[in-house]
């Protein structure tokens, strides 16, 4: 697993209207939005062993190529199922930037997880309030939110989204579930929003300690909708423990929000 950062275009030249960053590596294509004021764009990509080629491009709001990255840092990360990877996408820059042509690319989508009678729905956030979940701070104080046509991958009509609820990344806070037991092998759920580890995340608490954590992909689709992806945690080793789910928003900058929905206990892993 590799984590890379695209550096900015040459600052000695006039400012350029960078709206997104694109990386093409190992025959796949990745694009992430660039928030105004950002000085880098971070990608988390699982790479196959062996030699490969890599190309970078910065794009404007019309997906036109502006320039390549001046520099790029690559760090090796420990393989971790809970770490949100950058989704493969079909969005590619237009123009004459020096980028490769990926042999295979797929659309960013989040397929529905079809529940069975044996599954246990812990939360779907379809109510007007959070029920017996506990709120701290301001980020979650307005309750579940309608997606307003701005979310890709949602199941149902509402979700937890600290940006849509407030129309701002500024508020911070947490939302914590009641305790529950691992009555099924997996906890499946949808997550979106910022990729700030420990700051915009969904945590699994066991005896009050964080044992699993997942961030959003910080990704939008071609229709400018924020993408939600499935995460699946194996609960086998916590069978005898009391657990809680905690949604965390402790960031106020770009992508400083968390989105989550459809917490389901199942013996099947969501893909």
CA-nearest of 50, 49, 48, 45 to 30 is 45
Does 115 fall in a domain? no
Does 99 fall in a domain? no
Q: Are residues 145 and 43 in the same domain?
A: no
Residue 87: count other Cβ atoms within 10 Å of its Cβ.
Answer: 18
Q: Are residues 246 and 124 in the same domain?
A: yes
Q: Are residues 193 and 254 in the same domain?
A: yes
CA separation for the pair 134, 147 (Å, rounded): 22
**pLDDT tens digits along 85-119:** 787 776 667 765 444 443 333 334 445 677 788 99
Give residue 184's domain range: 120-266
Angle at 173 between CA 19 and CA 269, to 5 degrees: 75
Residue listed under structure tokens 């699946």: 232
Q: Are residues 258 and 197 in the same domain?
A: yes
What's the domain count of the chain?
2
pLDDT at 80: 61
Q: Are residues 57 and 125 in the same domain?
A: no
Does 81 fall in a domain? no
pTM: 0.62
Does 109 fall in a domain? no
User: In this structure, what CATH number is given to the domain that contains residue 192?
Assistant: 2.60.120.200
Helix (H, G, I), strand (E, B) or coil at 236: helix
Q: Which two tokens stand for residue 190?
A: 């949808």
Contact of 216 with 84, CB cutoff 8 Å:
yes
Q: Residue 170: is its pLDDT beyond 70? A: yes
Per DSSP, 204 falls in state E
Q: Are residues 54 and 140 in the same domain?
A: no
pLDDT at 111: 55
CA separation for the pair 87, 107 (Å, rounded): 9
pLDDT band at residue 83 using 50, 70 and 90 as cut-offs = low
Helix (H, G, I), strand (E, B) or coil at 238: helix
Per DSSP, 235 falls in state -
pLDDT at 175: 98
CA-nearest of 62, 45, 56 to 9 is 56
Contacts of residues 13-17 at CB distance under 8 Å and 24 or more positions apart, as own/partner, are 16/58, 16/60, 16/66, 16/67, 17/60, 17/61, 17/66
Does 93 fall in a domain? no
Q: Are residues 143 and 255 in the same domain?
A: yes
């Amino acid at each position: 697993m590799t984590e890379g950062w695209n550096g900015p275009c040459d600052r000695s030249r006039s400012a350029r209207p960078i709206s997104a960053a694109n990386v093409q590596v190992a025959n796949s294509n990745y694009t992430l939005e660039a928030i105004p004021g950002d000085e880098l764009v971070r990608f988390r990509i699982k790479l196959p062993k062996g030699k490969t080629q890599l190309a970078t491009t910065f794009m404007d709001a019309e997906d036109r190529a502006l320039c390549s990255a001046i520099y790029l840092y690559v760090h090796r990360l420990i393989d971790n199922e809970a770490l949100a990877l950058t989704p493969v996408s079909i969005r590619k820059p237009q123009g004459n930037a020096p980028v490769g042509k990926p042999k295979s690319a797929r659309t960013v989508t989040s397929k529905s997880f079809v529940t069975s009678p044996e599954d246990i729905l812990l939360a779907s956030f379809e109510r007007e309030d959070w029920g017996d979940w506990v709120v701290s701070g301001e980020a979650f104080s307005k309750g579940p939110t309608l997606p307003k046509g701005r979310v890709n991958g949602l199941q149902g009509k509402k979700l937890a989204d600290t940006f849509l609820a407030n129309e701002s990344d500024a508020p911070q806070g947490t939302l914590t579930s009641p305790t529950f037991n691992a009555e099924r092998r997996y906890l499946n759920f949808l997550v979106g929003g910022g990729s700030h580890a420990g700051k915009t995340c969904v945590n699994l608490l066991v005896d009050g300690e964080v044992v699993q954590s997942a961030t959003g992909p910080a990704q939008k689709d071609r229709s400018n909708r924020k993408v939600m992806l499935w995460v699946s945690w194996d609960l086998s080793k916590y069978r005898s423990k009391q657990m809680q789910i905690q949604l965390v928003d402790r960031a106020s900058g770009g992508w400083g929000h968390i989105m989550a929905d459809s917490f389901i206990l199942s013996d099947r892993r969501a893909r």
